[in-house]
């Protein structure tokens, strides 16, 4: 805590008046300050040896020997900065990165520990629970083909004045849970090979699949989908409605997937 800020943190309790000498949790600047500190400590190794976000640090390597070397380098940085680490919160060297997803040699799939909370969810009782479920399941939407269309009965509950749980809502909830239990393994992108993007649209949603031909077969890199707004859904009633929605799907998919692949040129073909 800066000296001129200490007196501003003063508070009184039954034990007397106190001032904070270090930054506590809860201040609006505490999170960015901590993140900046972590960035400064690991500046020499970030993106080359490790990734860091707040109090999460992932050390990555290609083999066990180099992993030990890199781990020692990162731990030395924390020691020199005066940090104390809780050993119970650490995971030893493994052949996959554990975060929201598993990064394995075969590809990427959701972390089973993270989807357990999704599988235990029972029929939802109000709008707040629907919002919470869609927010949680949305972390894994790139693993679920046609996520937006499957979830449309649940999404529709967010825009109605009366909350009515229907059989369609039950089916949507169960389908999403099943898709998350056995999702496809997404391939690691090879940025030296061309990408292909497949786009489809309906009166409910637009969806896209980013693919790449690896070792003679097409591999899925990511799925993406989005529900249409009420105004967009009306396009289909026009004479050129189908074409308009499909063109919007191409534009939306290109904007959505550009973070995963740089497309120097786009060639649109009709199957």
Q: Is residue 200 part of a domain?
A: yes
Q: Of 96, 49, 55, which is closest to residue 69 (Cα–Cα)?
A: 49
Among 127, 150, 181, the domain-final residue is: 181
Q: Is residue 35 helix, strand or coil?
A: helix
Q: Of 107, 89, 83, 88, which is closest to residue 97 (Cα–Cα)?
A: 107
238 within 8 A of 244, measured Cβ to Cβ? yes
Range among 102-106, 153-157, 205-209, 226-230 rated most confident = 153-157
Domain interval for residue 33: 3-94
Q: Is residue 88 part of a domain?
A: yes
Q: Tens digit of pLDDT for each residue in 54-75?
A: 888 888 887 777 888 888 898 8
Given CA atoms 56, 62, 68, 69 in this order, what sign does their dihedral have? negative
Among 94, 127, 157, the domain-final residue is: 94
Q: Is residue 134 part of a domain?
A: yes
The predicted model scores a pTM of: 0.49
Q: Is residue 265 part of a domain?
A: no
Q: Does residue 90 share a domain with residue 8?
A: yes
Q: Is residue 57 part of a domain?
A: yes
CATH number at residue 171: 3.30.70.270
Q: Is residue 186 part of a domain?
A: no
Alpha helices by DSSP H, listed for the chain, are 3-6, 30-41, 64-80, 112-119, 127-138, 147-150, 152-156, 167-181, 230-233, 241-257
CA 38 to mean position of chain CA atoms = 21
pLDDT of res. 258: 66
Q: Tens digit of pLDDT for each residue in 223-250?
A: 888 888 878 877 766 665 566 777 888 8
């Amino acid at each position: 805590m800066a000296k001129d800020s200490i007196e501003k943190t003063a508070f009184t309790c039954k034990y007397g008046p106190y001032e904070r000498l270090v930054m506590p949790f809860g201040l609006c600047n505490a999170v960015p300050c901590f993140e900046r500190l972590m960035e400064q400590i690991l500046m020499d190794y970030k993106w080359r040896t490790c990734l860091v976000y707040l109090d999460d640090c992932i050390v990555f390597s290609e083999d066990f020997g180099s992993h030990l070397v890199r781990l020692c380098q990162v731990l030395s940085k924390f020691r020199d900065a005066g940090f104390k680490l809780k050993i119970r919160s650490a995971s030893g060297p493994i052949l996959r990165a554990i975060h929201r997803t598993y990064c394995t040699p075969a590809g990427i799939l959701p972390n089973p520990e993270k989807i357990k909370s999704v599988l235990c969810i029972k029929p939802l009782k109000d709008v707040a629970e629907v919002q919470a479920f869609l927010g949680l399941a949305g972390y894994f939407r790139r693993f679920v083909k046609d996520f937006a269309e499957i979830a449309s009965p649940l999404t529709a509950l967010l825009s109605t004045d009366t909350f009515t749980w229907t059989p369609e809502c039950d089916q949507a909830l169960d389908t999403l849970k099943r898709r998350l239990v056995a999702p496809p393994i997404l391939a690691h992108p090879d940025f030296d090979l061309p990408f292909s993007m497949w786009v489809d649209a309906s009166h409910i949603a637009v969806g896209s699949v980013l693919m790449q031909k690896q070792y003679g077969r097409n591999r899925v890199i990511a799925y993406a989908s989005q529900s249409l707004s009420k105004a967009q859904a009306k396009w289909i009633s026009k004479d050129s409605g189908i074409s308009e929605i499909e063109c919007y799907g191409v534009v939306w998919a290109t904007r959505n997937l550009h973070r995963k692949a740089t497309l120097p040129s786009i060639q649109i073909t009709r199957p």
